[in-house]
Structure 1
């Protein structure tokens, strides 16, 4: 990533961006470029070839509006997931879900979210983030309508999966748009922190609004509300987001064999993990699908070595800290969604709370999440490595508290305290990981790097949902049905989250370069 004091780069057939620091804001001036020297390294040449088309000059007010729009997308992506978690018991009873299949309402969304991320990032880089973002946002809103109108479990799962495709289009284009609008590294880090904060707000409001709507009306209005809010916003985004300056050079093609192979491999892998909670890890269905996913993923890397314009250039894996942060990113949403799903089940199934009371119990997620993202954004430039280690440490403390909070009288001492401590850590993990991995992205690879980053997050989410559900169902199978006995399964799943936190700490300490 360039610094504010760095001299202006000149890139053939593209624009030159000149950054001048002032006490209040950054002013970006776009001028025509002059040819570079012919002695370019292969990496620089590839970066030039794949660069995102230049964008019109943005005023400070316009940049704020751009950030507001992409933050709304992040807000509704997280809101969509959490409002679904809180309404899950009512939805399951209404549509007649089997207990082991109910988590597919969440897993179908995260499955397509993860699987279609790379192709969305690739298209975003080749054309421009704006049309990809607007189309994805519209898809999330439009398919919320048939989810709310579902009359059968399969119908709800299918349309949730289609919603996930729209969310996958939103994320890499949002990250690329932030990188385009905010060229200064300090402003860019603050923008990423605001983006994370929007997710934290969506996290708590998803629980609260979803709980209110489920308790006072029906779970269907959770999804209708998303449609009402998102569809008009996706139209408004077209008029706010910056337009690309037309390119005069040959446009890079889409690596169709690569993206189709990777998408197929990810779908097989995520499906196998998700199905394990229902069919069991040793079932032929899960084992066969896992083996096929490994074969297809291997074929993807073979394709990327021979195609002329790969969707995921192999040089991307050589970006600073890319590989360790990719695996570190799995742990973030693994912990978050696994913890939230299990706590909501504890509140509603064991403690017999209504959806509204369960939502109120989750309120600490909001203030702690926003505060942690703000603090992380403020200090990520100076101490990113500290965030990567400190975040999982706080989350580990929370995991222990959740495992020991077996009765309602322990809500304040264990659950409430754990929600605040854990989410303070989550903010550090999310902002630190996203900022560090995006800062290492080469010019023109912003969309792909953002896509792979969020693929890691969503794969972790899907794995987390499947693993904690499998552990809880497996431990509680055959046990007495009283709340204390049944809490043993949930406690075991929280102890498994502690192991995930430990893995993140090991990666940050030993493998992430300072």
Structure 2
């Protein structure tokens, strides 16, 4: 049993850790604002259903496609430089979105915002890894990091819905530009820029990885909603082919974007798989509960978003609990298992027909978020601890890519399951489909907790 360490000051008081957490907050905020803006955007810019899906998914697609390249850039050029570049890109893209004259320009701005997030998020994790090399300090910092993302997403949902009916979406994007510009300046002033490493960035490898991940992300997000037919299947096949080609180039490359050896580090691959499953189960629970609140319980979109806003409290409780527990337990995977089990049981509880009132659904979902957040912090700590310090950006990129692919694949697949079970559009029929999907999501969360106990090549990863 590790000896408990004395309490330390809040990690958010240290400028570079605060800026790293701000990257996760801003990324989640940008992801959360768009769903409830869609009706107003459609009315003003003439969006159809396809355009609407691109406003929401374009950001996630770009994030997933470029995050691996962003991680490699952070390892070569340093987290400070890449974080400032990502914030600057977020500033410019938000300004373009605020002034967008057409739907196509707005979609392009959203895609560029996703590229900015693909730079800032792995750079933020690289900064945290360098700033906190002891297990206790890294656990606290990653707890703040995870909590920042959950608060950002919940706040984004509420702000998007309220802005649509008050100040308007253009002023909302202008405010995001101002926040991003402030963060750019603070990063330049507060985060020390280290010397560039001797490594190089392979342009060809970057093209292959970005194109392959973009196509796969399209397949499991937008394409999943279209039933995996026609062009969607071709995109999936092409994306898989490009990823295979990317892996082959990495094996032969002298300066790979993704050194293949990282997957042989004790516990790393299992942690990424566990993260994909748990994150997919959690996002699916969020998704289907939102549908349940609106389509079955009769809440408006804005009311549903406001009802779910307190879930940020669950994220704060779970992440801070993990930050306190990790230095005090023998194995981080214990926290992963307990958090995943808590999440799985609560998601299964949401599938019970008797859980059919907002006053019951929201507290149960709060338990889901609490368990997921605790496990998420432990998974992040384990992934970073399994790799060397000069691979922290790559580790963070692969971790976040796993989250994006896992959530997109799971939501798309469970949406198909839900439609097959429901058999109709009446509230009672729709509820049956949603609950079947929630049971499947609970099973994924349970497997995520169990998989970390599979045999490893050698001992558990040690803290850097």
Q: Deviations over 1:253-303 (max 9, x none)?
A: 21222222222211121112224334322x231222222222221111211
Partner of 1:9: none
Q: Deviations over 1:120-149 (max 9, x none)?
A: 111111111111101111222321233345
| Structure (1 or 2) with the larger CA radius of gyration | 1
**1:153-182 CA deviation, whole Å, 9 max, x = no partner?**
544433222111100101111111112222
1:277 matched to 2:224? The reply is: yes
TM-align CA RMSD: 3.0
Counterpart pick for 1:261 among 204, 208, 213? 208
Cα distance between partner residues in 1 of 2:390 and 2:205: 18
Do the aligned residues in 2 keep the contact of 1:215 with 1:356 (CA within 8 Å)? no
1:483 is aligned to 2:427: yes
Is the counterpart of residue 365 in structure 1 residue 311 in structure 2?
A: yes
Alpha-carbon shift at residue 437 of structure 1 (Å): 0.7
Which residue does 1:53 correspond to in 2?
none
CA distance in structure 1 between the aligned counterparts of 2:401 and 2:58, rounded to whole angstroms: 14
Q: How does 1:493-504 map to 2 (within 5 A)?
A: 493-504=437-448
CA distance in 2, matches of 1:466, 1:97: 22
Q: Where does structure 2 lack aligned partners over 5 or more consecutive residues?
A: none
Aligned twin of 1:420:
366
421-430 or 211-220: which moved more? 211-220
Matched residues in 1 for 2:413 and 2:88: separation?
32
Residue in structure 2 matching 1:308, options 250, 254, 263:
254
Measured in 1, the distance between the counterparts of 2:239 and 2:138 equals: 36
Match of 1:55 in 2: none
Q: Which residue of 1 aligns with 2:381?
A: 435
Deviation at 1:187, TM superposition (A): 1.4
Distance 1:401 1:207 in 2: 24
- Determine the C-alpha separation between the residues in 2 that align with 1:342 and 1:465: 9
Kept in 2, the 8 Å contact 1:395–1:425? The answer is yes
How many aligned residue pairs are there?
A: 454
In the TM superposition, what whole-angstrom CA distance separates every residue of 1:60-109 from its partner, at most 9, and x where no partner exists?
99971111111111111112212223434554565555557644333221
TM-score by length of structure 2 reads 0.88
Contact 2:136 2:323 (C-alpha < 8 Å) held by counterparts = no
Give 2:96's aligned residue: 146
CA distance in 2, matches of 1:92, 1:467: 27
| Distance in 1 (alpha carbons) for counterparts of 2:173 and 2:295 | 23
Indicate if the aligned counterparts of 2:57 and 2:222 stay in contact, CA closer than 8 A.
no
CA deviations over 1:15-41 (Å, ceiling 9, x no partner): xxxxxxx97879xxxxxxxxxxxxxxx
**1:388 corresponds to 2:388:** no
- The answer to whether the 8 Å contact 2:344/2:446 transfers is yes
Q: Offset at 1:472?
A: 4.5
Post-superposition CA distance 1:186-206 (Å, at most 9, x none): 212211111112112213322
How far residue 469 of structure 1 moved from its aligned partner, in angstroms, is 4.1
Partner of 2:181: 231
The question of 1:208 aligning with 2:158 is answered: yes
Distance 2:30 2:350 in 1: 24
Change (3 A) 1:92 1:491: farther
- Name the structure 2 match of 1:342: 288
Partner of 1:15: none
Report SS of the residue matched to 1:381.
helix
TM-score (norm 1): 0.80
In structure 2, the residue corresponding to 1:254 is in which secondary structure? coil
Q: What SS does the corresponding residue of 1:509 show, helix, strand or coil?
A: coil
Relative to 1, partners in 2 of residues 1:64 and 1:80: Cα closer, same or farther, differing over 3 Å? same
Q: Does 1:134 align with 2:84?
A: yes
Q: Which residue of 121, 127, 130 corresponds with 1:180?
A: 130
